[in-house]
């Protein structure tokens, strides 16, 4: 039986996180929710991948974090995109478009 859930392509998670954060700062849970929402519930990011990815991206310097208060008045850690992160997102978007177009072409040929 083919899998229903779309598997995340290796390396695309970082791009999705950057994209999710490009609109507004979010906490970790929010990032997961936003990705789900943007993909119309097709992409569910496992917590086990999400947090390590966030920490990795933070170390790259593409996002920064600070403690703030969530909409339900709880202390939460918010991530925001840095300038480097924005640049990185543009690069990854371009790469992705190229890749997606290429993959699409491959799949079209019969």
Residues that bind another protein (CB under 8 A): 27-29, 33, 46-48, 51-52, 55-56, 58-61, 70, 72, 74-77
Query: Which one-letter DSSP state was computed for residue 5?
Result: S
Q: Whose Cβ is closer to another protein: residue 71's or residue 108's?
A: 71
Q: Which is nearer to another protein, 15 or 78 (CB)?
A: 78
| Phi/psi of residue 105, nearest 5 degrees | -60, -45
Cα dihedral: 67, 70, 73, 74 (round 10): -50
User: Cβ closer to another protein: 15 or 57?
Assistant: 57
Give me the least distance between CB of 110 and another protein, in Å please. Answer: 40
Q: Are 31 and 21 a contacting pair, CB within 8 Å?
A: yes
Minimum CB separation from another protein for residue 67, in Å?
Answer: 8
């Amino acid at each position: 039986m083919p899998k229903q859930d779309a598997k995340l392509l290796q390396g695309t998670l970082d791009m999705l996180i950057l994209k999710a954060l490009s609109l507004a700062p979010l906490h970790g849970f929010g990032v997961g929710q936003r990705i789900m929402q943007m993909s119309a519930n097709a992409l569910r990011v496992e917590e086990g991948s999400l947090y390590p990815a966030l920490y990795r991206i933070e170390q790259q310097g593409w996002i920064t974090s600070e403690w703030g208060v969530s909409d339900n008045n709880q202390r939460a850690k918010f991530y925001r995109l840095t300038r480097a992160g924005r640049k990185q997102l543009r690069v990854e978007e371009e790469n992705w478009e190229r890749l997606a177009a290429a993959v699409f072409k491959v799949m079209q040929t019969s």
